[in-house]
Amino acid sequence: MEITLQYWNTLANQTILISSLLSGFSITVVANLLVSDKNDKLTNSILKSATLSAGCFLVSVFAMIQISMITTPGGYLKNVATDDFLIPRIIGMATFMIGLFSLAIMISLSGWTKSKKIGNFTTTIGVLTLVLIFITMTRISF
């Protein structure tokens, strides 16, 4: 079944919204960790995952903007086919997924800065969040 250009346009616009929000959240975490006095291995790992997440979500935003511009009726391209935005589609969805994975890692690691008990809790929540997101993004039915 071929996905229509209107569907791609709507999907791109929704992904732009989600990626923008998640990128902003990740950038806030990066900014807070940069001004923090902590400089241990765990904090640096959280900083790295937050930076990767922010960067991936930003790339996803701009890839989806390209798709949105191409698929908007009356836009700058005429007679558009799905092959016309293959590269932005691959880059946008791949970076979106990497961003989600990095965000889940950031959530999972965050509690370990406080205690082992909190670390176990945040790791469980991070893994559960990632699993539930991936389940809702697929066509799995139970």
39-49 pLDDT per residue, tens: 899 999 999 99
Report how far residue 48's alpha carbon sits from residue 7's, in angstroms, rounded to the nearest whole number.
34
83-140 pLDDT per residue, tens: 788 999 999 999 999 999 999 999 999 999 999 999 999 999 999 999 998 888 886 5
Report how far residue 106's alpha carbon sits from residue 122's, in angstroms, rounded to the nearest whole number.
9
Residue with tokens 């400089």: 39
Locate the domains of the chain by residue range. Answer: 5-136
7-39 pLDDT per residue, tens: 999 999 999 999 999 999 999 999 999 998 888
Burial grade of 82 (CB within 10 A; 0-12, 13-18, 19 or more): middle
Q: What single string gives the DSSP state of each residue in 61-126?
A: HHHHHHHHHHHSTTSS-SS--GGGGHHHHHHHHHHHHHHHHHHHHHHHHHGGGT-HHHHHHHHHHH
Beta carbons of 29 and 113 less than 8 angstroms apart:
no
